[in-house]
């Protein structure tokens, strides 16, 4: 099997963690008859500062030719968030990656900042609507700089968009052992689109009678995540709500540095994109402190998406083998290990298990 991956390492620690992820893919697929080729797409804020745009003019066409996209992080001091986020949001919309998946669980050897909570308490997956809602990009500014200035950000929800994300969430909940789904909403205050969101969710949920379904206001959902994380399994939320909740969940699972995300076009008409959830983190750039675990976990999601489940499993097992050892924790997890040390240990463990896998086969 041959796969092609377009790689946008991007800015800051994105450039430090992506090579680690590529090394893991190469180790996990070596000798297994799977070939993976990587094409470097040098688009970033650095590119923006040189060229006045985030990517080449034929960027979307080029990206559209790959089986998957693998991204580090975009964002840099001196470049507006509108420019850097424009590329990420553009890719998500252009390639109709309407599902953003964020699994969160306590990996072996990691502890939660929540007292007396272990792996059995924190195991959830957030399904974020990724193509419309609060981040639809609709809105504008008029009379800029004048006392009468007006600015709007329009949250747009379509029936088709809500139906497809709710159906995806229900199917995912159905595939997980606990079959629980929590719908996050704010329909008590936002009385149009969020009310439609709730109505459609209830309709779709009726197609999945084996899924236990409940509804939580987003403010109450933050408290529930802290007080009763064990009550959450699959969470379906809007673009903005899930953005916030999933960062909270990542922190509860140990660090922003361990969390992955997959931007998926379930119909596979376009490439899906995989990335760690953290940003470019210029404060730690160049120090060797970046935790590559979120990047490895996003590799696991990428390999699963490509159908390489054996390789995905080998990477995930290797990551947990390494996180189980406190000597291999990076600073964000309270340790002193460097990006390079963690990467070397994960790759060595993948090689060890790949070897035994090939011998048994
Ligand atoms: P954004 O690009 O989204 O604006 P950011 O670059 O400011 O974000 P975040 O990703 O929000 O950074 O991370 C906040 C802080 O968490 C960082 O400044 C950094 O100190 C720490 N952090 C984030 N990711 C990692 C990581 N992979 N390893 C270690 N620390 C991290």
- Percentage of the chain exceeding pLDDT 90: 91
Instruction: Say what the pLDDT of residue 1 is.
Output: 86
Residue to probe by mutation, ligand 1, list 44, 81, 83, 256, most atoms within 8 Å of CB: 256
In a domain, 241, yes or no: yes
pLDDT class for 286, splitting at 50, 70, 90?
Answer: very high
Of 252, 282, 307, which residue sits at a domain end? 252
In a domain, 236, yes or no: yes
In a domain, 71, yes or no: yes
User: Burial of 217 by CB count in 10 Å (0-12 exposed, 13-18 middle, 19+ buried)?
Assistant: middle
The alpha carbon of 73 and the centre of ligand 1 are apart by a number of angstroms equal to 10
Of 199, 233, 252, which residue sits at a domain end? 252
CATH number, domain at 194?
A: 3.90.190
Over residues 276-286, mean pLDDT: 95
In a domain, 106, yes or no: no
- Which of 116, 113, 106, 192 lies closest to 155 in space, CA to CA? 192
pLDDT class for 282, splitting at 50, 70, 90?
Answer: very high
One domain, residues 186 and 274: no
Length of the chain as a residue count: 361
Asked whether residue 212 carries a pLDDT value surpassing 70, the answer given is: yes
State the sign of the Cα–Cα–Cα–Cα dihedral 325, 326, 331, 332: positive
Strand extents, DSSP E, 58-119? 68-73, 99-105
In a domain, 142, yes or no: no
Instruction: Say what the pLDDT of residue 137 is.
Output: 87
> For residues 317 and 310, is the Cβ–Cβ distance under 8 A?
no
The count of other CB atoms within 10 Å of the CB of residue 142 is 10
What residues line ligand 1, using a CB cutoff of 6 Å?
Answer: 13, 73, 75, 256-257, 278-281, 283-284, 289-291, 294, 330, 332
One domain, residues 230 and 266: no
DSSP 32: T
SS3 132: coil
One domain, residues 182 and 78: no
Asked whether residue 56 carries a pLDDT value surpassing 60, the answer given is: yes
Question: For residues 304, 310, 315 and 317, what is the CA-based torsion angle, rounded to 10 degrees?
Answer: 120
pLDDT class for 354, splitting at 50, 70, 90?
Answer: confident
One domain, residues 93 and 162: no
One domain, residues 265 and 358: yes
Q: Which string of DSSP letters, residue by residue, matches 260-284?
A: EEEEE-TT-SS-EEEEESS---GGG
> For residues 317 and 346, is the Cβ–Cβ distance under 8 A?
no
Residue to probe by mutation, ligand 1, list 19, 113, 257, 278, most atoms within 8 Å of CB: 278
Over residues 160-184, mean pLDDT: 98
In a domain, 149, yes or no: no
Q: Among 16-20, 205-209, 352-356, where is mean pLDDT lowest?
A: 352-356
Ligand 1: nearest atom to the Cα of 291: 28
In a domain, 135, yes or no: no
Q: State residue 358 phi and psi, 5-degree precision.
A: -70, -35
Nearest-angstrom CA–CA distance, 151 and 149: 7
Over residues 2-27, mean pLDDT: 97
The count of other CB atoms within 10 Å of the CB of residue 84 is 22
Over residues 125-139, mean pLDDT: 94
- Atom 27 (ligand 1) nearest CA: 257
One domain, residues 229 and 300: no
The helix (run of H) or strand (run of E) holding residue 83 is helix 81-94
Give the pTM.
0.93
Instruction: Say what the pLDDT of residue 54 is.
Output: 93
**What integer best gives the mean pLDDT of the chain?**
95
Residue that has been written with the tokens 């991204």 in this structure = 71
- CA atoms in the 13 A half-sphere facing the CB of 103: 16
Report the number of distinct structural domains present in the chain.
Answer: 2
Domain membership of residue 187 as a residue range? 113-130+157-252
In a domain, 143, yes or no: no
CA 237 vs. chain centroid, Å, equals: 14
Of 229, 252, 275, which residue sits at a domain end? 252
One domain, residues 263 and 357: yes
Instruction: Say what the pLDDT of residue 356 is.
Output: 65
One domain, residues 227 and 287: no
pLDDT class for 358, splitting at 50, 70, 90?
Answer: low
One domain, residues 91 and 202: no
- Give the pairing of strands 123-129 and 99-105: antiparallel
Nearest-angstrom CA–CA distance, 182 and 322: 32
Which tens digit of pLDDT belongs to each residue from 224-278?
Answer: 999 999 999 999 999 999 999 999 999 999 899 999 999 999 999 999 999 999 9
One domain, residues 271 and 235: no
One domain, residues 215 and 279: no
The alpha carbon of 9 and the centre of ligand 1 are apart by a number of angstroms equal to 15
Ligand 1: nearest atom to the Cα of 331: 29
pLDDT class for 290, splitting at 50, 70, 90?
Answer: very high
> In the beta sheet, which residues pair with residue 221?
none
CATH number, domain at 5?
A: 3.40.718.10
User: Burial of 341 by CB count in 10 Å (0-12 exposed, 13-18 middle, 19+ buried)?
Assistant: middle
Question: For residues 285, 112, 238 and 282, what is the CA-based torsion angle, rounded to 10 degrees?
Answer: -10
Instruction: Say what the pLDDT of residue 357 is.
Output: 62
One domain, residues 21 and 38: yes
Nearest-angstrom CA–CA distance, 224 and 211: 20
- Atom 14 (ligand 1) nearest CA: 281
SS3 150: strand
Instruction: Say what the pLDDT of residue 360 is.
Output: 53
């Amino acid at each position: 099997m041959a796969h092609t991956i377009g790689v946008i390492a991007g800015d800051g620690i994105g450039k430090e963690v992506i090579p680690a992820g590529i090394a893991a893919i190469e180790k996990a697929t070596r000798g297994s008859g799977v070939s993976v080729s990587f094409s470097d797409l040098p688009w970033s804020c650095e590119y923006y500062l040189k060229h006045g745009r985030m990517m080449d003019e034929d960027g979307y066409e080029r990206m559209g030719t790959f089986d998957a996209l693998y991204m580090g992080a975009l964002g840099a001091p001196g470049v507006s968030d509108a420019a850097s986020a424009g590329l990420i949001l553009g890719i998500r919309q252009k390639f109709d990656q309407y599902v953003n998946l964020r699994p969160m669980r306590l990996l072996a050897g990691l502890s939660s900042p929540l007292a007396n909570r272990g792996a059995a308490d924190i195991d959830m997956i957030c399904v974020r609507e990724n193509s419309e809602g609060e981040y639809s990009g609709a809105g504008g500014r008029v009379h800029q700089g004048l006392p009468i200035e007006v600015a709007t950000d329009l949250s747009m929800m379509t029936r088709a968009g809500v139906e497809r994300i709710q159906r995806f969430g229900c199917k995912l909940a159905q595939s997980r052992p606990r079959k629980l789904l929590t719908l996050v909403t704010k329909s008590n205050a936002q009385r149009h689109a969020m009310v439609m969101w709730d109505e459609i969710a209830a309709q779709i949920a009726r197609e999945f009678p084996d899924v236990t379904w409940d509804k939580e206001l987003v403010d109450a959902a933050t408290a529930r995540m802290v007080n009763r994380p064990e009550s959450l399994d699959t969470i379906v939320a809007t673009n903005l709500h899930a953005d916030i909740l999933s960062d909270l969940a990542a922190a509860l699972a140990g660090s922003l540095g361990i969390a992955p995300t997959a931007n998926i076009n379930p119909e596979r008409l376009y490439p899906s994109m995989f990335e760690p959830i953290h940003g470019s983190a210029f404060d730690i750039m160049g120090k060797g402190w970046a935790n590559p675990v979120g990047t490895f976990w996003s590799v696991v999601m990428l390999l699963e998406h490509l159908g390489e489940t054996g390789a995905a499993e080998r990477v995930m097992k290797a990551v947990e083998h390494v996180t189980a050892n406190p000597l291999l924790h990076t600073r964000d997890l309270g340790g002193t290990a460097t990006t390079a040390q963690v990467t070397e240990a994960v790759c060595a463990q993948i090689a060890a298990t790949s070897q035994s896998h090939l011998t048994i086969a």
